[in-house]
Structure formats: structure tokens, C-alpha cells
Amino acid sequence: MKTLLLLMFCSFCTSLFAQVTPAKEPRFYLLKLKVVDSETSGNLEGSFVKVFNKTKQLLVDSVRVQNGYAKIKLEKGNDYDIIARFDEYLTRRANFNAACYLLDSKKAFCVSGIMIENVTTLANQNELIEATINMQKINLNDIYRIDNIHYDFNKWEIKKEAFQGLYTLIQILKDNPDIKVELGSHTDSRADEEYNMSLSQKRAAQAVNFIITKGGIAQERIIAKGYGETQLLNQCKDGVVCSEKEHAINRRTEVKVLGYKNSENMNKLQKAGAISGAKN
């Protein structure tokens, strides 16, 4: 009988303890993020930062840079996209994966598009991370090279290996709805000039068609331009012996900014301020 009563008492204590034990607080990183001009390194005060939790598929924070920084709480065990916007600058995407340790115990977190400057341990196993994200000012006729867009010899069909580069451009155009661009295709100097001009125009047109149909980008925002061999990057012109690697430098796809209009939505966001879930 005494044994039975003791077991019942222990069971009651266990149940009571389970009920009053507080839930374990989530661990987090406090990201102190500075947004700067990629050329001057000057602070972009008033720039707007959004944080999207990829693990939970929801927007978790929207904050403006004030007094030089945006402060953001990132819960450990989650993967985040960080999107920085500022008028007259290209939107910048970065990633902070606070769940890296789940796949590799040697890594606490993984980042791309962010420069980590300092890490300080706080109370309760939390950490303060000071970091910087660079943004590039939009200038007319700026040229950006798109890597890994290759074609078979004498062909203009888009290869599967080029999809990632084109999808990256699609994302840039979606993130920056106020820019208009030219997609330019360049060949090496082999074959005659007229043929190369025609081939490059067909390649550019194929890439633009992919972006419009696969990405849903408005046709008036992107035009195709073939340059043939008119803008070689090295000495490999007609009559000059060059290696395949040297010729490959000239075969490229580039994007040029043709136009930009100020974003009314961005101006409204800057004037209205931010709604932040991180009270720091």
C-alpha cells in the first residue's frame, strides 16, 4: 500500500513539475546591419530592409536604417532572405542561414551577400552580429555581365546550363520594377562579321524571349541587341591566333541599364517609416 501511495505521489509531482516548467526561450542572433554604397562605402541612411523567413515562409520584419544601422532579430534554426532597397539603387538580396549547424556542426551560421565584421556573445547563448550589405547605385548605361550563358557552336538555342543565369536576371528585374534594360550578346571573331552579327542577334532574342515567357517580365522593359564581334575584350581579332580560352572571353552576355524612373512606392515607404517586429 505504501509503495502504491509513493508511486502515485511521484506521478503527481512529475505532472506538476511538467506543468510549471517554463518553455525554453528560442536562441537568436541580433543582426546589426549597416547598408552602404558599394563604391563610396557611405551609409545609406533611410534605406529599407525586409526580412523573409524561408523556413516558415513568412515576412518577419520590415525596418529602416536609422542612425547607421538596421537591427533585426533572427531566430536560430531558421533560414532568412534579407532584401535591401533604396531609391536609385539596385535592390540587393542576401541570405542569413541561422540553421547551418543542423547540416554541419562546424558552422554556426552561413551567409551570402553580407560581410560579417564582428560577432559578440550575449546572455542566454544569444549573439550580436555586426555586418554590412553593399548596394550599387543605378547609372544609365551601366553594364553587368551574366555568367554561364553558353551556346553550342553555330547555335542560338538556350542551353539548360544557362537557365540559372537567366533566372537570376529575372529576379533582378522583378526586384527592380523601375529599370529598363538591354540584353546584349557578343561573339568571338571567328566567322565573318555579318554572320557573327546575325548569330548574336538571334542569341540575344532567344534569351529575351526566355525572360519574358518564363519570368513574366513585360516586353517593353527588355530589348535584345546583337553586337557580333564589334566589342572584343582582348586582342583576338581577325588574323590573330588565340586559344579557345581567350576566344571564350569575348563570347558573353551582358545587361545594360537603359532607363530608370523613381519608384513612387519606395518614396512612400521612406516617408512613412517602417513597421518592425524587432523592438531593439
Cβ(144)–Cβ(254) under 8 Å? yes
User: Looking at residue 86, what is its pLDDT?
Assistant: 96
Look at the domain 143-260 and name its fold: 60s Ribosomal Protein L30; Chain: A; (3.30.1330)
Q: Where are the beta strands (DSSP E) in the chain?
A: 28-37, 48-53, 58-64, 70-75, 79-85, 92-97, 110-112, 115-121, 127-135, 143-146, 179-186, 222-228, 252-260
How far is CA 67 from each of CA 1, 41, 275, rounded to the nearest angstrom? Answer: 71, 15, 16
The average confidence (pLDDT) of the chain is 84
User: Looking at residue 151, what is its pLDDT?
Assistant: 74
User: Looking at residue 26, what is its pLDDT?
Assistant: 67
For 146-155, the pLDDT digits (tens) are: 877 877 767 8
pLDDT < 50 regions, the chain: 1-23, 263, 265-280
User: Looking at residue 25, what is its pLDDT?
Assistant: 57
The amino acid that residue 61 corresponds to is D
CATH superfamily of 28-137: Immunoglobulins (2.60.40.10)
- Exposure string for 46-73, b = 16+ CB within 10 A, e = fewer: bbbbbbbbeeeeeebbbbbbeeebbbbb
User: Looking at residue 262, what is its pLDDT?
Assistant: 61
User: Domain map of the chain by residue range?
Assistant: 28-137, 143-260
User: Looking at residue 3, what is its pLDDT?
Assistant: 45
For 113-122, the pLDDT digits (tens) are: 999 999 999 8
